[in-house]
Amino acid sequence: MNEKIERLKDIKTENQIWVIYIGIILLSWYANSKEKKYILYKDEKSKKEYQNLMILIFSILVIAYYYFAKDSLKDYKKLTPVSKVEVVIVLPST
């Protein structure tokens, strides 16, 4: 039962991360419009805003990927030795 509750908490966190990804998509769209404005009109303010947005987007994604890597490592540690070998064999093919 405790394992089910733990997994439900993980799913809730993952759902929150998916909402963050939607925000990232919108931020990226806005950043692209700033870059376009810079390219077309040489607007230095737009260039600076674009660069700052890209740094923000990258930082948020690093945190999200860290969470998923940590979660995957936790699941990997629960595997049997045979399953670990299977993962090592399949992983390069993905």
Q: Tens digit of pLDDT per residue, the chain (94 long)? A: 788 998 899 899 989 999 999 999 999 999 999 999 999 999 999 999 999 999 999 999 999 889 888 887 887 777 777 677 777 777 676 5
Can you give the residue ranges of every domain in the chain?
Answer: 2-93
Question: What's the alpha-carbon Rg for the chain, to the nearest Å?
Answer: 20
DSSP string, 5-27: HHHHHHHHHHHHHHHHHHHHHHH
Please, what is the Cα angle at 35 between 31 and 39, to 5 degrees? 170
The candidate with the shortest Cα–Cα distance to 37, out of 26, 18, 51, is 51
pTM: 0.73
